[in-house]
Structures are given as C-alpha cells and as structure tokens.
Amino acid sequence: MKKSLLCLGIETTAHTFGASVVLYEKDKFNVLSNVRDMYKTEKGGLVPVMLSEHHVECFDRVIKEALNISKKSLDDIQLISFSQGPGIGHALRIGSAVARSLSLQLKIPLIGVNHCVAHLEIATIYDSSDPVLLYASGANTQIIAYDGGKYRVFGETLDVGIGNFLDSFGRDLGLGFPAGPKIDLMAQKAKERNAKYIELPYNVKGMDVSFSGLQTILRNKIRNNELKTQEQIEDICYSVEETVFAMLLEVSERAMAHCEKNELVLGGGVACNSRLKEMAQQMCKDRNAKCIIPENQYLVDNAGMIAVLGIKMYNAGNITKIETSHINPYERTDDIKVNWKE
C-alpha cells in the first residue's frame, strides 16, 4: 500500500482556475473538494491576457473555498500538484506561480503534471483499468491509450480542436463563450420538431479527424445569409453535432479495436454534451465494451484530476524541483514517461 497523502491540486491550463483537495488513503482517492471559477464572455472568445487577469483575481478565493469545503487548512496539505502543460502560457503561468509559492511557503513537495494525462487518470475513481480516452475539449481532440510505458496518442485533430471549432461556429452565429451548450440546446430544439439533417463534410483520415473545412463551409453559409430562420439555425446545429460526434466516435472505436481495449472513457468539456454521451454509450454497447462517463465536474478542466495524478506520480517517486517547475505550454501526452502504473 502506498503512503496516505493530502494534496492540493491547482488547474489553470485555459479558462478555468480550479483548486481541489484530495485525500489518498488505503489505496483510494477521496475528492474532498473540487472548486472552479471559469472565465466567460457574452460575446467573443478567450483573450489570453484576460485569462491571467481572471486567474489572478480569483485564485485566493477559489483555494480558500476548496479548503473550507474539505474542512482542511493549508497546514494540513502535504503535497501541491499543478498543471504544468499543455495550455495557454498566460493562464498556466498563474497556476504555476501560485503552486510554487505555496510549496516554498509551506515547505512541502511540488509536482507538475500533464493536463491531458490527468483527464485519463481521473477514470481511476470509476474503477477503470486500461481505457481508451476520447479527450474532447477546446484545444484538444485526441484519442489516447496506454501502450509500452507511455500514454500514446493514437488519433487526433489535424487542425482545430473540437471545442474551439464549436466555439468559432458559435461566435459566427453571435453566441458568446462557451458556445457548445447553446449549440446543444438548439440541436435539441430541432430534434423536438423532427430536425432536418443537412449534409456536411465528414473528415476522418485513419484515426485522425479534421474540422477546418467544415468550419469554412459553415462560416460561408452564415456570411452568405443562407441561415435565415431560427429553424434553419437549429437544423444546422443539429447536423453539426451529428456529423462531428460521429467522426469522434468512429476514430475512438477504431482505436479500441486496434489496441484491443474494451473500455472507453470520456474527458474534456465537450464530453459534457448529452448527444456525445449518448453516441459513446451506443457505440460501446454495440461492441460489448465498458463506457465510463465521469461526472461533468471531472470532464471539464478541474483540479481534482490534477491532484489525483499528482498523488500517483509522487507516490511513484516523482517530484518537481522549483528549478524545473517552469510551464510547458506545448507538452505532448507522449512526452511523459509513465512510471506510476503497475
């Protein structure tokens, strides 16, 4: 049995400042608190400098709230874990500065973790053993699985991430950030009145996907005033969801067959989408596989998963020295040597 630990996790790869207190005891992870504050806009997208301002403004309050909910104080914390990469530099820098300061102030170890790997490792709390992860978020669209000592990317987007694609489509429609939930709502309205499916490009190349061609076609439809009525807008939202989620599930299924794995786990904010969840469950049912859909609080960017991975890495003998705790905005999933899996 590994050492019991109380860890404070800090997440700041993009729009969210997250803080979470996780207790590891008797080989079990207990997420005592998982608090988030997300930067949102009424119109327009994310501006990196605004993210850092948001994170600076809220970090103290979010951390205090995470400690209060967990009924712990800073003095109880034994390990600080933070997302070191990949992500937006302006945002990552705030989390790493907070984490480094706390580690120095409290004289406790620091561990920098990879955000994408954390999305996979949180599946542990759902008794997952060896899954394929469909990671569908703003900047990231990857199919990841463990193979030969590393988490390897078996498929990914060749251009824009699924969430960024949906947000840019939403921006063209005049929606704010995040646009995904609003697009989903319109797709549901279309389904309630027998939606009309509009044929759209379906771009799957092996285990990779591409959204930029579709993005241009949708932008042109909006600019050329082809979507005049609310019903037409709802139908296009419905058709976009059906098309892009089918692409994601096709490549996930191909990766499961290729890796001979029988578990799919969802991760990323886009995985909160009800239609994507439904399609994932159907695909797994069809191939007799287990479909693990974590609660939404663990699908979106959150510090709970950062703390869980931090504890696993620390217990395997890893530690991040202050001198090497700089951020890695372009860190890849397969850059990480996995030494914590038995």
Find out whether 270 and 244 touch, Cβ atoms under 8 Å: no
Q: How far is the CB of 303 from Fe ion (least distance, A)?
A: 11
Q: How many residues does the chain have?
A: 342
Find out whether 163 and 136 touch, Cβ atoms under 8 Å: yes
Find out whether 214 and 171 touch, Cβ atoms under 8 Å: no
11 touches Fe ion (CB under 5 A): no
d(CA 80, CA 141): 28
Q: How far is the CB of 29 from Fe ion (least distance, A)?
A: 19
Q: How far is the CB of 273 from Fe ion (least distance, A)?
A: 14
DSSP state of 39: -
User: 263 or 301, CB closer to Fe ion?
Assistant: 301
Query: What angle do helix axes 48-70 and 89-106 make, rounded to 10 degrees?
Result: 40
Residues within window 277-306 making contact with Fe ion, judged by CB under 5 A: 301
Q: How far is the CB of 207 from Fe ion (least distance, A)?
A: 20
Find out whether 184 and 175 touch, Cβ atoms under 8 Å: no
User: 15 or 100, CB closer to Fe ion?
Assistant: 15
Q: How far is the CB of 35 from Fe ion (least distance, A)?
A: 16
H/E segment holding residue 90: helix 89-106
Binding mask 129-168 toward Fe ion (x if CB under 5 A, else -) reads --------x-------------------------------
User: 140 or 320, CB closer to Fe ion?
Assistant: 140
50 three-state secondary structure? helix
Neighbours of 1 (CB within 10 A): 7
Q: How far is the CB of 340 from Fe ion (least distance, A)?
A: 20
User: 184 or 301, CB closer to Fe ion?
Assistant: 301
User: 37 or 301, CB closer to Fe ion?
Assistant: 301
Closest CA to 12 of 46, 66, 54: 54
Binding residues for Fe ion, total number by CB under 5 A: 2
User: 70 or 83, CB closer to Fe ion?
Assistant: 83
For Fe ion, the binding residues (CB under 5 A) are 137, 301
